[in-house]
Chains A and B, each alone.
Chain A
Amino acid sequence: MSPKLTPYLLVLPLIAFIAVFTYVPIFTSIDLSVRSWNFMSPTKPFVGFDNYARLFASSAFWNSLTVTAVFAGISVPLRLGLALAIASYLKREALSSRLLRGALFLPTITSTVAIAVVFSWVFSTDYGLANAVLGWLGFGKVPWLQNPQLALFVLIFINTWKQLGYDVIIYIAALQAVPQELYDAAAMDGGKRMQVFRRVTFPLIMPTTYFLLVVSVIEAFQVFTVIDVMTRGGPAGATDMLVHLLYRTGFVLFDIGTGSALAVLLFVLLIALALIKSRVIGGKVHYES
């Protein structure tokens, strides 16, 4: 075998896997987005941009977009802020820190379905643990998952709780990589805690913050499981995020064309957001050479 060919042959299985399970579905989705298909019909007639037009004219789409934007707008800063604060405390190499890190990371590796089922019970209005505790404290029952304003915040809380451990671990690694000499130098210059954080720590962990920002925004826009198990987009569409609407359109209402159009729009939206982040924040990210 030619030595020049060997590297390509070695990566070929992975490329084939990525092609089949990533790129083929993407291009198939783009193709289906301009067709009308209910998964049963042998034909898939071309309909141009009708599916997109129907989406833009649909109140359900704009509702989903708003709900998703609110979810991401609140959960992402909350996650990153909390993760950084906790990581600052847990970066010390002590037994208690290691135990707490493990405890924080557990939800990340726990089945999302299991988490959603348990929290459904916790936040049940009549028989849930949350309202039981409120009852003991003398408060009345709160309709956690039946109040359209509250339900989304419950999901934000659950998603933050589940993903926090991952962000904390990443931040701990970044904080531990900041050279101690810089803190010593700042101390000698009389730098106060917040000043040191703002001038030394935060700029040096910007690459990590940027990475977590990109990942957490993508994750926030793709939340599905906890919604499908706990609220199914309710009450009255208050938690109907884009991916849930996509699933309902394609697989419950059998409108694969419109569902695919929504998938393409979501893809374009995430690319646009990534470009915006790159322009706005990318310039402020300093990588150590």
Chain B
Amino acid sequence: MLRKLQLATAASLLALAVSAPAAQAATVVTFWHSFNNAGGEALDKIIADFEAANPDIDIQGEYVGNYNDIVAKLQAAIPANRGPDAVIMEVTRYGLFAEGGVLADLTPYFEADPLKDDLYDYARQIGVIGDKNYIVPFNSSTPVLYYNKDIFARAGITGEPVLKTFDDILAASKTITETLGAEGITGIAAPGQFSRWGLVMANGSDLVDAMSGEILLDAPRTIEAYQWMASLVHEHKVASADGVTEEDNGRDAFLAGKVGIMMNSTGNYVGSRKALGDKLGVLPMPCNPECSVPIGGAGIGLLASSPKDVLDAAYKFVSFAASPEANATWFAATGYLPINKKSAALPVAAEALASQPGIDVAINSLPYAHGRARTEVVTWMRTTEYDMWQAMALGTAEVEATMKKFAEDTRAEEARLGSQ
């Protein structure tokens, strides 16, 4: 018995001694991301495929939560030097980290990478601040207009609805609310922040000019867009106030078949398709009069504090994640935009395009999709915009006065940040 124990122990030690060097040879890259459910599974597959092709690199993906959760965790991790090596960063909020020296300058990697010629222009531009590249796009999106075909039919709107202008959307929402309101069904979900930005752009304006950084919160067309959006809730009552204070409530109500129209990221496509099946219709965002949509989503940045060999390994993964095969897998599993020109031709993407109607709406919006400003003040502006929006949508504050004060405060904050 004792002899057997001795042999077993010796064998274990030998196995450990053999495996330890092999394990130590792999470069470990910690990667914080914000994907669970379908997105998480797709990302796990991409990681597994990368590791199969690169056995000397071990990607440790960790689901941290949403974009805000990742930032909150980074705040504790960075001063303690316990940050990840790679991290998902939302496209309008990484500027602060780039300018703070947290994110590594990826320009040398990117310039040497053939990938850059395969990316769409919009994708290439997402990660650039000044003349440096800080993130590589991963999950890019634009807002699209989802609608429930069954609700429209029951409201007497047959065929594909015409929802090209604000007036079209309001008219349809009113019809739905008046016809089916007794069943607890409302016409439209209160637009979330990403969609609000899209509606401002559709109205021919912007919140912050993407090129010059000029604050446009008090521009007449911006104010007009907010007046229309707020009127959906407090004046026309075609959108529930529940979705104003908690944006996910509007999405959840749509997925539960209680709302006729929802404007949301194309990244919600697969989840919406699973919830509504053939009842789901997808249309482009309105053009009122302009056709213009913001590009959202996130990219992968690398932390400057990581050692060189880890950065090299991490960039290899980041580049792989943007490759045609990985990007096609990602697109088919989630509905996020293809960022690589070669992705759409691959079988998995082609099958998704053929079998999932509406998944191509965001792709067709790309000719008029634009990146958004990512200056330091954008984080402050986006955080404060929620309070402003709630006050206007719930009817407790007048839109024009609120937006003018908001613009003034944003410019003051921009000046303060610039003076630091």
Contact assessment for B241 and A39 in the assembled complex, using a CB-CB cutoff below 8 Å? no
Contact with A along B254-276 (1 / 0, CB 8 A): 00001000000000000000000
Q: Contact check: which of A36, A45, A237, A251 meets B72 at CB < 8 Å?
A: A251
Query: Chain B residues near A148 (CB, 8 Å)?
Result: 394, 396
Residue of B nearest to A45 (CB): B420
A63 to B283, CA, bound (A): 42
Asked if residues A125 and B379 are in contact (CB atoms below 8 Å), the reply is: no
CB contacts (< 8 Å) of B390 on chain A: these are 234-236
Is B100 in contact with A40, judged by CB distance below 8 angstroms?
yes
B96 in contact with A38 (CB, 8 Å):
yes
B109 CB within 8 Å of chain A: no
| Residues 232-289 of A contacting B (Cβ, < 8 Å) | 232-237, 240, 248, 251-254
Interface string of B235-255 (1 = CB under 8 A from A): 000001110111001000100
Give every chain B residue within 8 A of A172 (Cβ-Cβ). Answer: none
Q: Judging by beta carbons under 8 Å apart, are B245 and A235 in contact? A: yes
Q: What's the nearest-Cβ distance from chain B to residue A25, in Å? A: 13
Number of interface residues of B (CB under 8 A): 33
Query: Of A143, A231, A236, which is in contact with the most chain B CB atoms at under 10 Å from its CB?
Result: A236
Does A225 sit at the interface, judged by CB under 8 A? Answer: no
Stretch from B306-314, B336-344, B349-357, B380-388 at the A interface: B380-388
Q: Is A41 in contact with chain B by the CB < 8 A criterion?
A: yes
Query: A39–B73 Cα gap in the complex (Å)?
Result: 12
Does chain A have a CB within 8 A of B68?
A: yes
> In the assembled complex, which residues on chain A have CB atoms less than 8 Å from the CB atom of B240?
125-126
Chain A residue numbers with a CB within 8 Å of B9 are none
Query: Which one of A146, A253, A254 lies within 8 Å of B244 (CB-CB)?
Result: A146
CB B390 to nearest CB in A, in angstroms, measures 4
Confirm or deny: A124 has a beta carbon within 8 angstroms of a beta carbon on chain B: yes
A145 at the interface (CB under 8 A from B): yes
Which residues of the partner chain B approach A36 to less than 8 Å between Cβ atoms?
420
User: With A126-B240, A234-B245 given, is the CB distance from A248 to B383 under 8 Å?
Assistant: yes
Q: Which residues of B approach A to under 8 Å, CB–CB?
A: 68, 71-72, 75, 78-79, 96-97, 100-102, 184, 186, 240-242, 244-246, 249, 253, 258, 379-380, 383, 386-387, 390-391, 394, 396-397, 420
Query: Other CB < 8 Å A-B pairs besides A125-B240, A126-B253, A234-B386, 20 of them?
Result: A38-B100, A45-B420, A124-B242, A124-B249, A126-B249, A127-B253, A143-B241, A146-B245, A146-B394, A147-B394, A148-B394, A148-B396, A234-B245, A235-B244, A235-B396, A236-B390, A236-B396, A251-B72, A252-B68, A254-B75
Of all A-B residue pairs in the complex, the 10 with the closest CB atoms, nearest first, are A40-B100, A236-B391, A146-B241, A236-B390, A235-B390, A125-B242, A234-B390, A234-B245, A235-B245, A40-B102
